[in-house]
Amino acid sequence: MLFRKIESLIEEHLKSDTKKILLIDGARQVGKTYIIRYVGEKLFENFIEINMVEDSLGDRLFAETKTVEDFYLQVSMLKGEKMKE
């Protein structure tokens, strides 16, 4: 894999205790999705990608989600295995 400076920044953010979101923005076809997948699979036992634009369920997937437990249940059903909280 080509070394990308952004990898270490993403890792630091995901390992931190911050409650802030991480927004990755940039030109098309430069590897944004690739680096997120790479770091996610590297750091976490459970990694799932949810594309709210391309997914056939789209915004309906979490329409009735009210709690964290509901969220994990929905994601577990999508993944096909129980996700760890």
Which has the higher per-residue pLDDT, 40 or 78? Answer: 40
Contact, 61 vs 78, CB < 8 A?
Answer: yes
Predicted confidence band at 57 (pLDDT cuts at 50, 70, 90)?
low
pLDDT for residue 9 is more than 70? yes
Asked if 64 and 70 count as a contact pair (C-beta separation under 8 A), the reply is yes
Give the residue-averaged pLDDT of 8-24. 90
The reported pLDDT for the residue numbered 1 is 57
Mean pLDDT of 54-83: 77
68, 85 in Cβ contact below 8 A?
yes
Whether the predicted model's global pTM rises above the 0.85 cut: no
Is residue 21 pLDDT above 80, yes or no? yes
Instruction: Check residue 11 and give its pLDDT.
Output: 94
